[in-house]
């Protein structure tokens, strides 16, 4: 047999078959291999059936207990959904599975969007903490703020007190509200309390802010930058003296335009809060503008920075304090640049309920009145 002829053996399919399977050793090997393949195929099929069963069971269970909004099974289904997803991606014969999968994926996505406040809050706080470590201000905020963030983390992990929840939760929240700086209401009718005091941190641009809001503010600005926008904090804490100075300057400028002192005063109070009633005096408010459009007018709402902030500020504990549709309640015209820190859990709650601070505080007080009447 010449080498050339030997090569030719492999050139037709029949010849190749005869060469491989005419040989008893080859035949055995083939049988073993095909048996192994069959076992693997059966195993995969069984696994798929089991996973499909689990997925369907969870699907129906979630459907039944949807109102309960349980987070634990949702987390579990997320895992199985992920598993079945990867499995079904490999096979094409599981016909009804993708439908169940996608519905379930939607559900789990919803569920996943709801619970992990504490997780994101903590990771963001950690990031912000890392960022703050670079700034000089972090040195001023020593262990005290760390203890505070640890405490607030713990608070965020605990159940969020919501309105309309059982009686004792509401009472707890009202107690919180009375002593809780986060819900401090400062407006035209509620001047800043006389015994009010705060500790501020100085931002890199020289402005001051209540140190308890600094970390979240830092995280929010960072993330807004990371999203490709150019936010700039134009105003933060103002002392009452400084507010008075701004107010007086405005009155003089109106008087220069020919208004009487009385007219100038009332015009000034339309534009700027009278001293003692500005949220900026409590250190929890910031005016944020877009660097490319640094004006505090209605056009500010159209900037990329504001669009991003309007969508995300609540995630960092900030609310747009004077929304367009709440002017009659807040007593302030639309200010698409003025954000107020209320902490992440309240911001989330207000965002979900679509309430401004006045409405929110009113509801809390109202629930309190009802609660104490019931006692
Ligand atoms: Zn402002």
Instruction: Please tell me the distance from the alpha carbon of residue 142 to that of residue 317, in angstroms, as a whole number.
Output: 22
* Alpha carbon distance 372, 178 (integer Å): 15
Q: What is the pLDDT of residues 223-247, one digit of tens each?
A: 999 999 999 999 999 998 999 999 9
φ, ψ of residue 352 in degrees (nearest 5): -65, -35
CATH number of 118-238+278-374: 3.30.1380.10
The 10s digit of each residue's pLDDT in 74-94 is 444 444 444 444 444 444 443
| Residue 266 pLDDT greater than 70, yes or no | yes
CA pair distance 366, 354, nearest whole angstrom: 17
pLDDT, one tens digit per residue, over 30-75 is 666 778 888 888 878 888 888 888 888 877 776 554 444 443 444 4
Which pLDDT score, from 0 to 100, does residue 316 have?
A: 97
Give the distance (Å) from ligand 1 centre to CA of residue 285.
6
Cα 337 to ligand 1 centroid, rounded to whole Å: 7
The one catalytic residue among 335, 345, 352, 358 = 335
- Give the distance (Å) from ligand 1 centre to CA of residue 263: 23
**d(C-alpha 140, C-alpha 126), whole Å:** 18
Query: Which pLDDT tens digit goes with each residue over 180-217?
Result: 889 999 988 888 888 888 899 998 889 999 999 999 99
Give the residue, 371 or 289, on which the prediction is more confident.
Answer: 289
What pLDDT is attached to residue 39? 84
Q: CA 348 to CA 327: how far, in whole Å?
A: 21
Alpha-carbon span 371 to 177, nearest angstrom:
14
Taking the alpha carbons of 5, 7, 13, 17 in that order, is the dihedral positive or negative?
A: positive
Q: Does pLDDT of 132 surpass 60?
A: no
Q: What is the pLDDT of residue 303?
A: 97
- Ligand 1 center to 339 CA (angstroms): 7
Using the mean position of ligand 1's atoms as its centre, give its distance from the Cα of residue 287 in Å.
5
What's the average model confidence in pLDDT over 310-328?
Answer: 95
User: Residue 337: is it exposed, middle or buried by C-beta count within 10 angstroms (0-12/13-18/19+)?
Assistant: buried
Tell me, in angstroms, the distance from the centre of ligand 1 to residue 79's CA. 45
Which pLDDT score, from 0 to 100, does residue 372 have? Answer: 63
Ligand 1 centroid to residue 236 C-alpha, Å: 7
Positions of CATH 3.30.1380.10 in the chain? 118-238+278-374
CA distance 234 to 244: 18
CA distance 127 to 316: 12
More confident residue, 338 or 15: 338
Helix (H, G, I), strand (E, B) or coil at 209: strand
Residue 343 and residue 315 in contact, taking contact as beta carbons nearer than 8 Å: no
Least confident of 111-115, 310-314, 342-346: 111-115
Is pLDDT at 283 greater than 70 in this prediction? yes
| Active-site residue flag, 335 | yes
Residue 23 binned pLDDT confidence (cut-offs 50, 70, 90):
low
HEC string of 65-130 equals CCCCCCHHHHHHHHHHHHHHHHHHHHCCCCCCHHHHHHHHHHHHHHHHHCCCHHHHHHHHHHHHHH
Question: Comparing 60 with 339, which gets the higher pLDDT?
Answer: 339
Asked if pLDDT for residue 143 goes beyond 50, the answer is no
pTM recorded for the entire structure: 0.53
The string of pLDDT tens digits covering residues 151-188 is 334 333 333 333 333 333 434 444 445 568 899 999 88
Residue 161 near residue 172, CB atoms below 8 Å: yes
Output DSSP code: residue 160. Answer: P
């Amino acid at each position: 047999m010449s080498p050339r002829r030997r090569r030719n053996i492999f050139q037709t399919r029949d010849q190749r078959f005869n060469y491989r399977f005419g040989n008893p050793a080859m035949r055995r090997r083939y049988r073993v291999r095909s048996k192994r393949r069959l076992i693997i195929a059966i195993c995969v099929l069984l696994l798929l059936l089991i996973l499909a069963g689990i997925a369907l069971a969870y699907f129906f269970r979630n459907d039944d207990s949807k109102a309960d909004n349980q987070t634990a099974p949702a987390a579990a289904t997320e895992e199985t959904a992920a598993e079945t997803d990867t499995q079904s991606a490999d096979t094409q014969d599981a016909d009804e599975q993708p439908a169940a999968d996608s519905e379930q994926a939607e559900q789990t996505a919803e569920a996943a969007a709801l619970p992990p406040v504490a997780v994101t809050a903590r990771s963001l706080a950690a990031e912000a903490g890392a960022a703050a470590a670079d700034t000089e201000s972090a040195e001023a905020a020593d262990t005290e703020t760390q203890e505070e963030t640890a405490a607030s983390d713990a608070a965020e992990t605990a159940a969020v007190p919501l309105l309309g929840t059982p009686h004792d939760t509401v009472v707890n929240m009202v107690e919180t509200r009375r002593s809780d700086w986060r819900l401090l209401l400062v407006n035209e009718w509620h001047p800043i309390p006389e015994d009010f005091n705060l500790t501020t941190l100085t931002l890199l641009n020289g402005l001051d802010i209540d140190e308890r809001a600094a970390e979240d503010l830092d995280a929010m600005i960072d993330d807004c930058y990371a999203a490709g926008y150019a936010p700039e904090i134009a105003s933060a804490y103002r002392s009452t003296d400084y507010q008075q100075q701004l107010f007086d300057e405005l009155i003089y400028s109106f008087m220069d335009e020919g208004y009487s002192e009385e007219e100038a005063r009332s015009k000034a109070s339309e534009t700027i809060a009278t001293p003692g009633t500005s949220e900026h005096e409590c250190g929890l408010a910031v005016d944020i503008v877009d660097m490319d459009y640094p004006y505090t007018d209605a056009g500010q709402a159209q900037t990329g920075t504001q669009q991003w902030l309007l969508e995300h500020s609540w995630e960092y504990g900030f609310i747009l304090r004077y929304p367009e549709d709440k002017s009659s309640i807040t007593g302030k015209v639309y200010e698409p640049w003025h954000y107020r820190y209320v902490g992440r859990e309240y911001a989330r709650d207000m965002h979900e309920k679509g309430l401004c601070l006045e409405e929110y505080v009113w509801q809390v007080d109202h629930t309190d009145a009802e609660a104490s009447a019931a006692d």
